[in-house]
Amino acid sequence: MLCLLVLGGVLLGWPAPAHAGGDRPVDEYRSVYGTPGVAAAVIDGSSVETIVRGRDGDGHAVTARTPFRIASMSKSMTATAIMLLADRDRVSLDDPVVKVLPEFRMADPRFTAITVRHLLSHTSGLSNSTNNEYVFPPPRSAREIVAGLAGKTLVAAPGTRSEYHNTNYSIAARIVEVLSGQSFDAFLRTELFTPLGMTGTSSTSGCSDGAEGLPSGYEVVLGVAVAAPEMPGMCVGNGGVISTLDDMVRWLRFNQGTLGPDLLSAGSLAELHTVQPEAGDYALGWQSRSVTAGAPPSLVGHGGTLATWTGDMVFSPTTGMAAVVLTNSGGDPSLLSANLLAERTGAPATPMSNPLTVVNAVLLGLTVGMTALLVTAVVRARRWAARRRAARRPWLLPRLVPLALVTVLGAVLPTVIWGAFNVQYWIVTAWLLPLLTLLCLLCFGLGALALGRRLWCFRRTGQATAAPVRPATADV
């Protein structure tokens, strides 16, 4: 295992840490989740400790300049882009969206009450139950996403219910484009990333769009890591940012108020981190967190999850402590960021466990077992048919019901486990639970083959039984 410790003080010009204490939590995390590459940092006042481990999707050693997709951590940047425009009096958080985005239309008349604040706090009333975000192929731009809402409805009146929904932030991205006259990526680069010195940070519209220098992420199943492309999806505004550990340290510094203080007013920065009405624990692109379960919220953070990338960032508004974690596979990086802070403060660490290890082990066992049973059913179809023909009561259909159920279940399970019958959920399952996809494909394919062969053999056996016997003839 490659082990490299890069001191943040050398890279960013801040004082070096007195000790390096983050190695153990990072190594434990990689052991539990099988993560190929991790880049993490702990900020403690004026010091920055960085810990990098493993390899990227091209096989190169991870460094503090390795690009990662940061997924939903991008929302904090979209919210900041809106706040930059608010500071310039181009928009107010309480403006109706239709005022600043005339193209925005929905089939539900309540949509006119949606404000910019509702979008950024996930209280707009938009929901996946009425606006499926897993359509395939996905929209390719914020404009397309907004246009696609014309026939959709809300599940609640704006401002009355909290539901995390990525489309809220894609609409916000479109607002930035319309008000600034720039593409969303261009606005982020020129107005946010460049002023903060985040030279390795950019964004894409699609979750799977390629970007210069960006390696692939990984699928990890039972400790086996395979480089894989990201699942197609709409990420503009809600999860499309690509960044590095160095740049994410700068982003946390900015949100702590110690970098780029002239970029955003102090009041606007504080508003970004303030929990909003009816939003539960959600602020504007950030969430409130507790140090330990049951304790009052004292931290501000946000995680990010894609199929092949995950990350997390968290900071204390009062102590100056912060942590950021970037990984190139699935997992629960919020556990690692919490343990990195706990190690610095002397708080108890949160035990790490990977529930997918058990899930995938069960799925693997089921896959092997069902494959053996179904292959046996195919091979012994002729014998099965002969027994049915010889039986006094063949009971053909009841005998075929178990195979039929296995076949049908294999076809529909990847869709119904997500709460609705939709063929597009096959794509989601293929990326998030590849062993379940394999199990279902085998059940459907081998089940249909076994059914077909049993019926064919039963028919052939009947034809052979009904064929007349030719009388023997004497040789002349």
Residue 25 lies in a domain: yes
Distance separating alpha carbons of residues 99 and 163, to the nearest angstrom: 23
Distance separating alpha carbons of residues 164 and 125, to the nearest angstrom: 10
How do residues 63-107 score in pLDDT, each as one tens digit? 999 999 999 999 999 999 999 999 999 999 999 999 999 999 999
Residue 15's pLDDT band (cuts 50, 70, 90): very low
In Å, what is the CA distance from 206 to each residue of 196, 210, 239, 340, 434? 24, 9, 9, 32, 22
Distance separating alpha carbons of residues 218 and 225, to the nearest angstrom: 6
Question: Is 330 in the same domain as 412?
Answer: no
> In the chain, how many domains are there?
2
Q: Under a CB-based contact definition with an 8 Å cutoff, are residues 134 and 425 in contact?
A: yes
Question: Is 408 in the same domain as 272?
Answer: no
Residue 332 lies in a domain: yes
Amino acid at the residue 165: H
Residue 470 lies in a domain: no
Q: Give the range of the structural domain holding residue 303, as residue numbers without chain letter.
A: 3-345
Closest CA to 154 of 183, 129, 120, 187: 129
Residue 152 lies in a domain: yes
Q: Under a CB-based contact definition with an 8 Å cutoff, are residues 26 and 62 in contact?
A: no
> Looking at residue 99, what is its pLDDT?
97
Residue 47 lies in a domain: yes
User: What are the two backbone dihedrals, phi and then psi, of residue 37, each rounded to the nearest 5 degrees?
Assistant: -140, 135
Q: Residue with structure tokens 């780029």?
A: 260
> Looking at residue 194, what is its pLDDT?
97
Tell how strand 310-315 and strand 241-243 pair up: unpaired
How do residues 312-323 score in pLDDT, each as one tens digit? 999 999 888 999
> Looking at residue 470, what is its pLDDT?
53
Please give the model's pTM, rounded to 2 decimal places. 0.88
Residue 469 lies in a domain: no
Question: Is 333 in the same domain as 403?
Answer: no
Question: Is 310 in the same domain as 367?
Answer: no
Adjacent-strand bridge partners of 241: 203
CA dihedral 329, 331, 332, 338 (to 10 degrees): -60
Residue 475 lies in a domain: no
Residue 269's pLDDT band (cuts 50, 70, 90): very high
- Across the range 417-426, mean pLDDT stands at 73
> Looking at residue 249, what is its pLDDT?
98
Question: Is 30 in the same domain as 56?
Answer: yes
> Looking at residue 471, what is its pLDDT?
53
Whether the per-residue pLDDT at 1 is higher than 60: the answer is no
Residue 10's pLDDT band (cuts 50, 70, 90): very low
Question: Is 337 in the same domain as 362?
Answer: no
Question: Is 424 in the same domain as 310?
Answer: no
Q: Give the domain-ending residue among 345, 364, 399.
A: 345
CATH number at residue 327: 3.40.710.10
**Chain-wide mean pLDDT for the chain?**
90
Question: Is 78 in the same domain as 35?
Answer: yes
> Looking at residue 16, what is its pLDDT?
35
Question: Is 262 in the same domain as 327?
Answer: yes
Question: Is 257 in the same domain as 297?
Answer: yes
Query: How much of the chain, in percent, has pLDDT values that exceed 90?
Result: 77
Question: Is 260 in the same domain as 365?
Answer: no
Q: Give the domain-ending residue among 299, 317, 345.
A: 345
- Across the range 252-273, mean pLDDT stands at 95
Whether the per-residue pLDDT at 307 is higher than 70: the answer is yes
Q: Give the domain-ending residue among 299, 326, 345.
A: 345
Q: Kindly state the tokens that stand for 205.
A: 């519209």
Residue 35 lies in a domain: yes
- Across the range 435-452, mean pLDDT stands at 95
Question: Is 145 in the same domain as 64?
Answer: yes
